[in-house]
Structure 1
Amino acid sequence: MNPADLGLPVDVPSTALFTDHYELTMLQAALANGTAERRSVFEVFTRRLPEGRRYGVVAGTGRVLDAVENFRFDSAVLEFLRERAVVDMRTLDWLASYRFSGDIWGYPEGEVYFPGSPILRVEGSFAECVLLETVILSILNHDSAIAAAASRMSSAAGERPLIEMGARRTHELAAVAASRAAYVGGFTSTSDLAAGFRYGIPTVGTSAHAFTLVHDSERDAFTAQVASLGRGTTLLVDTYDVAEAVRMAVEVAGTELGAVRIDSGDLLLVAHRVRQQLDELGATATRIVVTSDLDEYAIASLAAAPVDAYGVGTQLVTGSGHPTCSMVYKLVARAASGDPKAPLTPVAKKSSGGKTSIGGRKWAARRVDAEGVAEAEVIGTGPVPSALADHQLLTQLVKSGEIIAREPLEAVRDRHRAARGGLPLSAMQLSRGEAVIPTEYA
C-alpha cells in the first residue's frame, strides 16, 4: 500500500534526472535530423542468468510504472540542464512538455524469467522511449537481483518466515527498494520502517546488543524490555553467555516468552542447545530466531535445526553475490520515417563478444508439460502458435501513456510463489547449474 492510499501526503520528486547524459544528447541529435518521431520498439532482456542461477525473478515493475509516471522535466530540472549546457534550447523546449504517451508491455511482476525473455517492451517514438532506458534498467536490475536472492532464500527456508534486515548494509533509498523486492521474493517482514510506510510491508524488531550493554546487567535489560514490550517479545541472548542468558530470559519473562534471538556462533549447534534448554525450562512454545550473515546456503544448512525464523541482511541486499541481473534495453524495431503508419523494421546489434541481439517485436510464452510444469521459454516475432496462445507472458502495463496495470504487492508476491511452483523441482537446487528450462526461438 502506498502512503497516498492511507490519505497521507506524499512528495513525489521528478525521476527525469535518473538517467544518463547521453540519453539527452541522443535526443538532441534525433530532434535535429528528424529521427526523433520514428515509431520504435525497445525491449529489456538479459543474455544470460547470473552464474549458477537457474531462474530469474521479475521485480520492480510497480516502481517502473511510478518512475514513468513521474518522468517530468520541471523548471528546476530544465534550469540545471540549461546551466550545464547539456542540450540546446530546442531540446529543452521539447523536454518541458515531455509525457510518455506510448505503450508498455511486460512480464507481470513476480513472474520468473530466463535468458532472452523480453521482460519489458516499450513502444512509442524514439525520442520518448530512449529517455526511459536508464531509469528502467536501474530499477529492474536492482530489484530483480534482490528478488532472485530472496526467492532462493525463501525456497531454502521452507515454511519458516524470513525477516529482511539489510537497511544498514546499503544506501538508505536502496534499502526501501530492497525490502519491497525481498517481500516479492518470499520474505515475510522487514526491519525498515520506510518500507513499511511506503509499501505496507509488515515491520518487526525488538532490541540490539547495545540495549543490553547500556544496562548494568543482562537481567536489568531483559526486565526493562519485557516490562515495555510484554512477555511475547524476542530477547537477544548472545551478548555474553548464551546458556545463562536463556535461563535468565525464561526466569524474567516466564514460559510465555515469545522468542530468543541468536546472532553469533555455530548457529546449528547453538540452536539445538537452546531448544533443549528452553524445553527443559518449560518454555516449549518459545521460538528461536537466528541472524548473523545468513545466505541461502546457510539457511539450507539449518533446515534440520530447531529454528523458527531467519533474519537476513547483507547477503540479501547485495543479491547474494549477484547485485545486478545484467539486463539491457535495446532497440529491436523502428519505422523508416516519422509517419505513424510506417511499418516497423526489425533492427539488432551485430557484433562479436557475445553482445549480439535478435531484432523484431517479440512475444513470449512458456510451454508446459502434461502436468503443467514448465519445460521451455518460447520467444518469437511472428504469429503465436495456437498451442501457446493461452500461455503468453506479456501483459499490457501502459496504454497510450496511461498506467492500466497497478496491483497490490500481495498479488505480486502470490504470483511469484505460483510461478516458482510451476518450475521443475531442480529449480530449487542451490548447487550451481544452468537455467532450469531452455529458451527456444520460434
Structure 2
Amino acid sequence: MRDLELDIISPETIHSGRATDAYFERTDATLAHADRTPQVVAEVTADQFPTGEFELLAGVKDAAALLADHAVDVDAIPPGRCFDGGPVMRISGPYRDFARLETALLGLLSHASGIATAARRVREAAPDSPVLSFGARHVHPSIAAVVERSALVAGLDGFSHVAAGDQIDRAASGTMPHALLLCFGRGEQEAAWQAFDAAVGDDTQRIALCDTFSDEVDESLRAADALGDALDGVRLDTTGSRRGDFRHIIREVRWELDAAGHEDVDVFVSGGLGVHDLRELRDVADGFGVGSAISNANPVDFALDIVAIDGEAVSKRGKLSGVKSVYRTAAGGHHVGHRDSEPPADGEPLLEPLIRDGDVVDEFDLSLSGATKRAARDASLVGFGGTDRV
C-alpha cells in the first residue's frame, strides 16, 4: 500500500515562519549577515484611500495567534468591523522578528475577510431569512473552519461542516443529501424520510429533501404525508439544468402544501444560489443554504508595507509613507489620516491595541459573538450592501 499524506502545512510550520515566500528567508539571511535589525512600522492595507466600497474584516484571531510571542506591538481593527482604505493592522518592532511571517499573515487576513465580505452581502440580500453556509465542500478541508467562522462573523445563522464546528465550538446544521434518497431507491422516498426521522436526535430538524426522483410538488406532498406533524420543512435543491423558473416552483410547492393543510411546513432552498437569487426569492422561500457564493469569494488583496524605519517615514513608490490612523465617523464615513494629524471631530478610532511586546491584550475582543455583533452594527452604519452584487 502506498504511503500518502495530505498536502496540509501544519500549524507548527506556519508558526515557525517556514510558511513564507523564499525571498523573505533570503531577506532575513541578508539582514543577519549585514548585522542590520531595523525597527520598523509596517501596515496591512488593501486600498490606500477610501473608495466607497466597504469590506468586512475577519481573520484577526488567527493573525493574533501568529504574531503572539514575537517582540512586536500590534494594533488592529477588531474583527467584524467594516473598512475602506488605510491600515487594518499596524506592526511595530524589529523587522527580522516578523519578516518571515508576512506571507502567512496576509493569507490569514485576506482569505477570511474575502469570505466574510461575501457572506455579509448574502446576509444583506435576505436580512430576515435563515441562511446557512453550505460552501465548505468547495475549499480545502484544512480551512473549513475559516469559512464557517467568517460566515458567522458576517451574520449567517449556521453552517454545515462538522469538524469546523468542533474547532469554533458551534454545532453544525444539516439534514440529508440526495445520496440518502438514492441509497433507498426510486419509489422508496417515504422509507428514506421515515428512516431519517427515526435515526436522528430530537435536536435535528426534520427537513426532507424533495426533488430527487420526481418533481418538487409531488415529493413535498409525499414527505408531508409520510412524516405528518414531525415534518418541519422541505428543501428544494433542484439542479440548474432542471430548475426552470425556480421562483414559480417554490410558489407552486407552497400553494399545494397549503392546499393540503400543511401550512406549517417551511420551504427551504439551496443549490448554486447567489446574492441576486436571495433578493429574488426571499419573499417566497423560508430559508436558504448558500455555498460557493460565500466559500469561493475572492480574497481581499491585502499587502503589508513598511511605512517607517527607525522613526523616519518611508514608503516604496505608489504607497503612502508614515504611520496612519483610521476612523469611523458618526455618519458612517471612513477616514484615513496621519497618526499625528487632527482626527475628525466625530471620529471613532478603529485601530486598537492587540499585542504589546508579544502578549495579546486581554481587552481586545477576539470573540466570535463580539465580531458578529460588530458586523451587524457597522454594516448598518456604513450602508453595506447598498448595491446588488452577484
TM-score by length of 2: 0.89
Could you tell me which amino acid in structure 2 is paired with residue 26 of structure 1? T
1:348-383: per-residue Cα shift (whole Å, max 9, x none)?
111xxxxx1001111111223xxxx21342322323
Matched, 1:313 2:291: yes
Q: 1:110 aligns with which of 57, 60, 80?
A: 80
1:25 is aligned with what amino acid? R
Aligned partners of 1:105 and 1:298: how far apart in 2?
A: 39
Q: Does the CA-based 8 Å contact 1:256-1:285 persist in structure 2?
A: no
Corresponding residue of 2:327: 365
Choose the corresponding residue for 1:228, options 175, 178, 199: 199
Distance in 2, matches of 1:127 and 1:384, equals: 32
Residues 427 and 247 (structure 1), Cα distance of their counterparts in 2 relative to 1, 3 Å cut = closer
Query: Is the Cα contact below 8 Å between 2:74 and 2:354 reproduced in 1?
Result: yes
In structure 2, give the amino acid aligned to 1:233: R
Distance between the aligned counterparts of 2:132 and 2:169, measured in 1?
A: 15
Match of 1:43 in 2: 43
Mapped contact 1:165–1:191 kept (Cα < 8 A): yes
Segment drifting more, 179-188 vs 220-229: 220-229
**Structure 1 stretches (4+) deviating beyond 6 angstroms?**
none
Contact 1:106 1:397 in 2 (8 A): yes
- Secondary structure (helix, strand or coil) at the match of 2:382 reads coil
Worse-matched range after superposition: 60-69 or 188-197? 60-69
Deviations 1:392-442 (A, max 9, x none): 110010011001135321111111111111114x7422159xxxxxxxxxx
Provide the C-alpha distance between the structure 1 equivalents of 2:172 and 2:337, rounded to a whole number of angstroms. 40
Partners of 1:49 and 1:56 within 8 A in 2: no
- In 2, the alpha carbon distance for the partners of 1:232 and 1:301 equals 26
The match for 1:80 is none
- Following superposition, the deviation at residue 43 of structure 1 comes to 0.3
How far, CA to CA, are the matches of 2:65 and 2:326 in structure 1?
25
Aligned-residue sequence identity (percent) comes to: 24
Q: Name the counterpart of 2:353.
A: 396
Is the Cα contact below 8 Å between 1:332 and 1:358 reproduced in 2? yes
Map 1:36-435; keep pairs closer than 5 Å.
36=37, 38-47=38-47, 54-69=53-68, 99-115=69-85, 117-216=86-185, 217-229=188-200, 232-241=205-214, 242-264=216-238, 265=243, 266-305=245-284, 307-319=285-297, 323-335=298-310, 344-350=311-317, 356-368=318-330, 373-385=331-343, 387-388=345-346, 391-404=348-361, 405-424=364-383, 427-430=385-388
Q: Which residues of structure 2 form unaligned runs of 5+? A: 1-9
Larger mean CA deviation between 290-299 and 223-232 belongs to 223-232
| Structure 2 match to 1:82 | none
CA–CA distance in structure 2, aligned partners of residues 345 and 110 of structure 1: 32
Quote the Cα distance in structure 2 between the aligned partners of 1:427 and 1:375: 15
Query: What is the total number of aligned residue pairs between the two structures?
Result: 367
Gaps of 5+ in 1: 1-10, 70-98, 336-343, 351-355, 433-442
Give the letter aligned to residue 170 of structure 2. I
List per-residue Cα deviations over 1:30-63 (Å, max 9, x = no partner): 1122322x2100100012799x983111100011
Q: 1:259, 1:289 within 8 Å by CA — same for their partners in 2?
A: yes
**SS at structure 2 position matched to 1:387:** coil
Residues 383, 49 of structure 1: alpha-carbon distance in 2 compared, 3 angstrom cutoff: closer
Distance between the aligned counterparts of 1:428 and 1:194, measured in 2? 34
- AA of the residue aligned to 1:410: S
8 Å contact kept, 1:68–1:100: yes
Answer yes or no: is the 8 Å Cα contact 1:41–1:331 preserved in 2.
Answer: yes
Report the AA paired with residue 58 of structure 2: A
Query: Does the CA-based 8 Å contact 1:102-1:123 persist in structure 2?
Result: yes
Taking structure 1 as reference, are residues 53 and 431 closer, same or farther at Cα in structure 2, changes over 3 Å only?
farther
Q: Which stretch of the first structure deviates more once superposed, 402-411 or 119-128?
A: 402-411
Q: Kindly provide the amino acid, as one letter, of the partner of residue 28 in structure 1.
A: A
Give the 3-state SS of the residue equivalent to 2:345 in structure 1: helix
Residue 297 of structure 1 contacts residue 430 of structure 1 at CA under 8 Å; is this kept in 2?
A: yes
Q: Kindly tell me: are residues 398 and 380 of structure 1, through their superposed partners in 2, closer, same or farther at Cα, counting changes over 3 Å?
A: same
* Shift in alpha-carbon separation, 1:103–1:136, aligned structure 2, 3 A: same
Q: SS at 1:132's partner residue?
A: helix
CA distance in structure 2 between the aligned counterparts of 1:152 and 1:250, rounded to whole angstroms: 33
CA distance in 2 between partners of 1:381 and 1:123 (Å)? 14
Whole-angstrom distance in 1 between the partners of 2:132 and 2:385: 23
Q: Which amino acid aligns with 1:317?
A: S
Q: TM-score, normalising length from structure 1?
A: 0.79
Distance in 2 between residues matched to 1:114 and 1:54, nearest whole Å: 6
In the alignment, the residues of structure 2 paired with residue 284 and residue 49 of structure 1 have an alpha-carbon distance, to the nearest angstrom, of 52
User: What is the rounded CA distance, in whole Å, between the counterparts of 1:171 and 1:53 in structure 2?
Assistant: 32
Amino acid in the other structure paired with 2:189: E
